[in-house]
Chains A and B, each alone.
Chain A
């Protein structure tokens, strides 16, 4: 199908973009990997597209104290291949290998994936797992939003019209990590995916972070499972218990791909596999 007509402006600066976004019915165009298909299918009908692809100042990866800050317009492929990301936020680098194919990662951006807020997408779940901070600029200035507060529902965030996501700050987390994902086609969006990082000290769990995609209206943080692991020796029995807590945290949808009960069961199966992989 073909898109309906819309106006188009190429923003020359962040200020420019924010000013253009003040127009009702306007929408940001980043990598276009979700938005252009939605336009083609007429599931999105903006009156104005504000193209931010010329904003080079929003494309960077930099180590900043205990954080890695990544500009919203950084292409997913650049994040995936960044040495800093591979070393300091390995969960993010690993997750990117599940995000579409190279051709879509070459264009798709980090900010676009978060702003799109697909509950089955990997990058929002990684942001939630790692307590990333989302930097936003709008007519009222800048604000910083915790990833867990950022996602409101399927394809809904707390961004207000006129606001631009400018960067994401990930805490440095060189922990053991693992991802287990079930999808219908290779590299497709997840039916269910579990993301874990585990730090151990003296043979016990010092810190675990667990998030699930595809099992609720937003990415889900499995807090009870994390607390259960804390301070424990990570033997099979403990991991099995944690897997049940992961499943209990989910609130999965039923749709034509899978019923809720199946997704919940898979959250436990994948969660246990991911934890086992992370702790060896």
Chain B
């Protein structure tokens, strides 16, 4: 089936089978390789993207379900050459590390800050609990999200 959608503001379209997940469609058919795939069953959070303004696991959606949708991947966070304040904070606070889980974490952190501009450490940790990061005990990531929160976006 043909799937047409908007990714990071650009209209995109490609053919795929109904069984194609949105994660694979974005990565393999459209080339947005910032969408990372870990567990393929919703647990690790690596594939988290923003779909019509709310985060979603791209591995738990079929590409055909995203017909007409508006998707933002990590590639769409920066504007021009300007990093998103979260990306900037992750760089400063060493929250990036190997970077595998980072695209999904950034999507979740952006949604958290949009609904709760000054989250407590506990609230940041609760939001991050949906992401399995193999690189750390999360401290740098928590620091980065909280630093971005106090900066004007």
A→B interface (CB under 8 Å) = 1-8, 10, 29, 32-33, 36-37, 39-41, 49, 51, 53, 77, 100-104, 106-107, 185-187
B62 CB–A CB distance under 8 Å: yes
Binary per-residue interface labels of chain B (54-84) against chain A in the complex, 1 for a CB within 8 Å, 0 otherwise: 1111011110110100000000000000000
Say which residue of A8, A102, A104, A185 sits within 8 Å of B64 (CB atoms).
A8
Give the residues in chain A near B99, CB-CB below 8 Å: none
Q: Is the CB of A4 within 8 A of B19?
A: yes
Q: Is the CB of B64 within 8 A of A39?
A: no
Give the residues in chain B near A101, CB-CB below 8 Å: 45, 108, 127, 129-130
B1 CB–A CB distance under 8 Å: yes
B42 CB–A CB distance under 8 Å: yes
In the complex, residue of chain A having the shortest beta-carbon distance to the beta carbon of B42: A37
Give the residues in chain B near A187, CB-CB below 8 Å: 129-130
In the complex, residue of chain A having the shortest beta-carbon distance to the beta carbon of B115: A102
A4-B19, A36-B21, A36-B62 known; A103 vs B41 contact (CB < 8 Å): no
CB distance from A37 to the nearest CB of B (A): 4
Q: Is the CB of B41 within 8 A of A51?
A: no
Q: Is the CB of B17 within 8 A of A5?
A: yes
Say which residue of A2, A10, A41 sits within 8 Å of B19 (CB atoms).
A2
Q: How large is the interface on B (under 10, 10 to 19, 20 to 34, 35 or more residues)?
A: 20 to 34
Q: Is the CB of B60 within 8 A of A102?
A: no
Give the residues in chain B near A39, CB-CB below 8 Å: 19
B48 CB–A CB distance under 8 Å: yes
Q: Is the CB of B60 within 8 A of A53?
A: no
Give the residues in chain B near A53, CB-CB below 8 Å: 65
**Considering the chains assembled together, what is the distance between the CA atoms of A48 and B62 in angstroms?**
14
Q: Is the CB of A186 within 8 A of B126?
A: yes
Q: 25 A-B residue contacts at CB 8 Å?
A: A1-B40, A2-B19, A2-B24, A5-B18, A5-B19, A6-B19, A8-B64, A32-B60, A33-B57, A36-B60, A37-B40, A37-B42, A37-B60, A40-B21, A40-B40, A77-B54, A101-B45, A102-B112, A102-B127, A102-B130, A103-B57, A104-B42, A106-B56, A107-B57, A186-B129
B118 CB–A CB distance under 8 Å: no
Q: Is the CB of A102 within 8 A of B108?
A: yes
Say which residue of A8, A49, A185, A186 sits within 8 Å of B1 (CB atoms).
A8
Q: Is the CB of A33 within 8 A of B64?
A: no
Q: Is the CB of B48 within 8 A of A103?
A: yes
Give the residues in chain A near B29, CB-CB below 8 Å: none
A5-B17, A8-B1, A37-B41 known; A104 vs B108 contact (CB < 8 Å): no
Q: Is the CB of B45 within 8 A of A51?
A: no
In the complex, residue of chain B having the shortest beta-carbon distance to the beta carbon of A187: B129
B111 CB–A CB distance under 8 Å: yes
Instruction: List 20 additional A-B contacts (Cβ < 8 Å) besides A36-B42, A37-B40, A102-B108.
Output: A1-B40, A5-B19, A8-B62, A10-B64, A32-B60, A32-B61, A33-B57, A36-B21, A36-B61, A36-B62, A37-B42, A40-B21, A41-B40, A51-B62, A101-B130, A103-B45, A104-B60, A106-B56, A107-B56, A187-B129
